[in-house]
């Protein structure tokens, strides 16, 4: 019993210690990001690295989810005699929730692991120490640029996912029963306004903040050589995915409250 109690206390202490270190890391990154010189070249490189590499994956995931959602929703609506609501139901589901969360999780898996492994490798090979020794702030050069790139890229990738999802939803619906793309889009967006479109899209900027912050934090505290780099990549994906899902629950509630 005493050993069980002590292990539980160690787990709780480790939990709060991790969040405390994350808070200190966030403050250091924010302070570095707001003081010159600004690393615009590195930021542009990270925007290209994250955006262009993830574009095909996000498009494929969004298209697949749109087609599946269209097929499954059609069967459900036919049972209740509401087949005419298919375009509106599918478009609403994709733009409000499916597109943003799928994009966030795809970026967690690709960019989260990549950033964590890259910075972890730099940490264990003492490249970060060398950067700091050359009078360059590693929080500005390595962390702030990647976090900002994630924040800026996520809403754009969400638009790609939404577009591909809607197009493939129409393709799946048209294969089951002929319907023109114009008619599908008109019926799908007939009940939409900006309050239905903008908040779900821009909430993914928060997902980007979470993914970039967690991945950079895990990467820059890596220990234990190449084995530690592997653990960092795994923990970056797991933790960022978990926090993205939890943040989505909170943001959905806030969007419902402030944009009814």
Confidence (pLDDT) at 260: 67
DSSP 143: I
**Alpha-carbon distance 63 to 61, whole Å?**
6
CB neighbours of 165 closer than 8 A, spacing ≥ 6? 62, 63, 65, 66, 69, 94, 98, 99
Domain boundaries, the chain: 39-258
**pTM higher than 0.75, yes or no?**
yes
CA–CA distance, 44 with 179 (Å, rounded to integer): 42
Q: What pLDDT does 130 receive? A: 86
pLDDT attached to residue 179: 83
Phi, psi torsion values for 220, nearest 5 degrees: -85, 0
Supply φ then ψ for residue 203, to 5 degrees.
-70, -20
In the block, tokens 């799928």 appear at: 102
Q: What is the largest CA-CA distance in the chain?
A: 69
Per-residue confidence of the chain (260 residues) as pLDDT tens digits? 455 666 677 778 877 888 888 889 999 999 988 888 888 888 999 998 888 888 899 999 999 999 998 888 887 777 777 777 788 888 888 988 899 999 999 999 888 888 999 888 888 888 888 888 888 888 888 889 999 999 999 999 999 999 999 999 999 888 888 888 888 888 888 877 777 788 888 899 999 999 999 999 998 888 877 788 888 888 889 999 999 999 999 998 888 887 76
């Amino acid at each position: 019993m005493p050993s069980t109690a002590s292990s539980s206390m160690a787990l709780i202490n480790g939990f709060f210690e991790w969040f405390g270190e994350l808070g200190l890391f966030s403050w250091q990154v924010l302070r570095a990001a707001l003081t010159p010189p600004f690393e615009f070249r590195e930021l542009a490189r990270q925007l290209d690295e994250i955006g262009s590499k993830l574009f095909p994956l996000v498009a494929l995931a969004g298209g697949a989810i749109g087609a599946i959602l269209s097929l499954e929703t059609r069967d459900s609506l036919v049972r209740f005699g509401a087949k005419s609501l298919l375009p509106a139901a599918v478009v609403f589901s994709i733009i409000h929730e499916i597109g943003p969360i799928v994009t966030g999780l795809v970026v967690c898996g690709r960019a989260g692991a990549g950033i964590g492994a890259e910075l972890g490798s730099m940490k264990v090979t003492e490249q970060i120490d060398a950067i700091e020794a050359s009078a360059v702030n590693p929080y500005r050069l390595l962390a702030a640029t990647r976090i900002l790139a994630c924040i800026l890229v996520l809403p754009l990738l969400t638009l790609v996912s939404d577009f591909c999802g809607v197009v493939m939803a129409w393709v799946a619906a048209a294969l089951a029963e002929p319907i023109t793309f114009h008619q599908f889009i008109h019926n799908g967006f007939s009940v939409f306004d900006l309050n239905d479109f903008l908040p779900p899209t821009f909430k993914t900027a928060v997902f980007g903040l979470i993914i970039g912050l967690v991945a950079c934090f895990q990467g820059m505290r890596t220990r234990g050589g190449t084995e530690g780099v592997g653990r960092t990549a795994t923990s970056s994906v797991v933790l960022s995915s978990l926090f993205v899902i939890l943040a989505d629950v909170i943001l959905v509630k806030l969007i419902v409250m402030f944009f009814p």
